[in-house]
Amino acid sequence: MLACISEFGKPEGLVILSNSSYIDSYGWMHVVGTKNISAYTTTYVKVIATFYDNTGRVVHCDFTFSNPDDLETNQAGSFDILLISERVSLIESYELTAESHEYAIIPEFPSSLVLPLLVFLILIVVVLSKKKDTCDKR
């Protein structure tokens, strides 16, 4: 079986199967979910959350280890990242990554940055096309 190598130099293999978040009665945010490994045993599985505000800026990050922290082939484990911070009210979105001694997953491009990046690219195209039109008229 060929394994794709991530930017961390580890083969990709960890999969976050599901996740959700909620704020408890203390005002603390929980990001919970499950993840697994598809082909081989893995040890010390760590799930990392990066939290973004409504402008796409990172406002906090945290991590936890899965339960159990070692996963057998195709075994799912759960995680609960607990954010005890006054920054909970700033959080608009989050991104999850996972890694272990043996594997990594490449994080998704933060969805909060997609729209600003798209607008930026459109502006560049408009500016360049106007500049070309100006040069052509001379």
d(CA 116, CA 122): 10
Counting residues of the chain whose pLDDT is more than 70, the rounded percentage is 70
d(CA 52, CA 48): 13
Q: Is CATH 2.60.40.3230 the classification given to domain 14-107?
A: yes
Name which of 106, 110, 111 is nearest 5 in CA terms: 106
For the chain, the domains span 14-107, 112-138
SS3 for 31? Answer: strand
Distances (CA, A) of 119 to 1, 116, 126: 41, 5, 11
Question: Average pLDDT of the chain?
Answer: 77
- Tell me, what's the pLDDT at 2? 36
Q: Please, are residues 17 and 66 in contact by the beta-carbon 8 Å criterion?
A: no
Name which of 19, 8, 7, 89 is nearest 47 in CA terms: 19
Question: Across residues 57-72, what is the average pLDDT?
Answer: 90
Work out the pLDDT band at 58, boundaries 50, 70, 90: very high
DSSP class of residue 29? E
